[in-house]
Structure formats: structure tokens, C-alpha cells
Amino acid sequence: MEKQSSRSAPRAISVVVLLSLLLLLIAVGSMGWRHRVALWDVFQRQDDLQTWIARFGAWGPVVSVVLTIAQVILAPIPGQLLGVVNGYLFGLWPGFLYNMLGLFVGSSLAMGIGRLLGRPAVRWLVSPRQLARWDGLARRQGPLFFFLVFLFPFVPDDVACFVIGLSPLPIPTMAVLATLGRFPGVFVSCWIGAHSTALPMWAWLPLGGGSIVPAWLFWRYRATVENIVLRWIHALQRYVS
């Protein structure tokens, strides 16, 4: 009886966390509807955008964190874009903090969904092809492999979070590694956003090209790019081990 209650305690806590996040998403969505404006006009100028976010008051950073959580779970928004937006709105270090907090909570939640609700729930959030592919790739892999997945670009690290939840790996440790692995990419994105208005036009040419060209290559040759990056990860893993 005691063993059964000890198992049900984490499950009950996770259910409470899931419900709390759901209520938070509803609250933020309601506030966004209440303060709706012509968003295209707002996003034309940094001052107007900051003014719009300021309407949320203390909820402004919460909106940023919730969007980042949703990006991990639902992946409707590129993670790098949110890093640029956070740096643009809040500055380098506050934006970086909000992004990392959202990534930590979102990664933990994705892992928790896999662990608590199992494969049927994950199939609702991850395409069957990706899930089958990553089930095979991640089989018998340890923390180092997943840390490198979060560190390297052009691999679906959000899918990796769900796969970790389906594995016996410890979620607290893996959530920390997921956050640390994303550190460099998030910092660069927030730095670009924070300094976007100060950068001269000529500086945007290599930045834009350095973002658009890899994005196009990834979109056009996604499977090939993933395979190349994964080969690098396996090679580095063997070298470190």
C-alpha cells in the first residue's frame, strides 16, 4: 500500500502542474484577446511592440514564458524566433532568462507527458514517422547523446523531449541537460534581438544570409541534414566516451 501511494504522489503532482499550465494558457489567451490590436502595425516598431507588451503589466514576461512552453509542446513557432523576440523586447539578459525558463518548463512538461500519459498521448503531438524514427535512434542512448542533440542545430530536440519521457532516463537530470544544451543558441538569438536596432544595415546581410540559407537547406533537405548532424553527434559521442 505504501509503495502504491509513493508512486501515485508524483502522478498527482504532475496532474496539478498540467492543469495549472492549462489555466495559465487560458488566462494569457484571454488577456491577449482583451488587449488585441492591429498586430502588424504594432510589430513595425520596437517602441510600439514594447508598449503593447506593457499592457500586460506583470504578465508581459509570463506571456513570453508561456509562448516558449507552447513552442516546445506544440512547435508552432520557431524557437530561435522567440529568442530574437525576447531579446528585442526585454533586452539580452531578461529575454535570455525568460526564454530559458520557458524551455526548462516546456521540456520538463514534454518529458512528463511521455512518462505519465505514454505513447498514445505522444502520438497526438508528434508525427508517427518522427516518433518511429527517433524511437530507433534513441534506443539504448544515454544522457550524453541527448545533450548533444539539444546542443546541435537542425535536429528536432522537442521530439527528443517526448522520447526521453518514453525512456527510463531520469527526467530532472534530462530537463537540466536539455536547458544547458540550448544555452548557446538561445544566447545568440537573444543577443541578435537585443542589438537589432543598433546593428548597421550591412551587418544584417551576413546575419540574414546566415539564417535564411541554412533554414532553406533544412526545409529542402531535412532528412539529409538530420542524418549528417546525427552522424556528427554519434562521432563526437564516441570520441568523448
| Residue at 92 is within a domain | yes
Which grid coordinates belong to 153?
A: 542545430
| Residue at 12 is within a domain | no
Give dist(CA 224, CA 209) in Å, integer.
21
Which grid coordinates belong to 83?
A: 529568442
| Residue at 9 is within a domain | no
Inter-residue contact 168 to 17 (CB < 8 Å): no
Q: Kindly list the distances between the CA atom of residue 99 and the CA atoms of 105, 141, 165, 221, in Å, as whole numbers in the listed order.
A: 10, 27, 22, 28
Which structural domain, as residue segments, surrounds residue 155?
60-240
Query: What is the domain count for the chain?
Result: 1
Which grid coordinates belong to 223?
A: 532528412
> How high is the pLDDT of residue 206?
56
pTM here is: 0.75
Inter-residue contact 162 to 110 (CB < 8 Å): yes
| Residue at 37 is within a domain | no
Query: Within a 13 Å sphere around the CA of 141, how many CA atoms are in the beta-carbon half?
Result: 23
| pLDDT tier for residue 208 given thresholds of 50, 70 and 90 | low
Among the listed residues 141, 179, 185, the one whose alpha carbon sits nearest the alpha carbon of residue 163: 141
| Residue at 214 is within a domain | yes
**The dihedral sign for the CA sequence 170, 176, 177, 182:** positive
Q: Is the pLDDT of residue 193 over 90?
A: no
Q: Is the pLDDT of residue 186 over 70?
A: yes
Which grid coordinates belong to 225?
A: 541534414
**Torsion angle (degrees, nearest 10) of CA 95, 226, 163, 140:** -130
| Residue at 154 is within a domain | yes
Give the single-character DSSP code of 127.
-
| Residue at 232 is within a domain | yes
Inter-residue contact 100 to 183 (CB < 8 Å): yes
Average of per-residue pLDDT across 63-69: 81
Give dist(CA 69, CA 5) in Å, integer.
30
Among the listed residues 108, 106, 104, the one whose alpha carbon sits nearest the alpha carbon of residue 116: 108
Which grid coordinates belong to 174?
A: 534530462
| Residue at 179 is within a domain | yes
Q: Which position has the grid cell 506593457? A: 54
> How high is the pLDDT of residue 95?
93
**Tens digits of residue pLDDT in 98-120:** 999 999 999 998 999 899 889 99
Average of per-residue pLDDT across 195-224: 63
Give dist(CA 161, CA 241) in Å, integer.
23
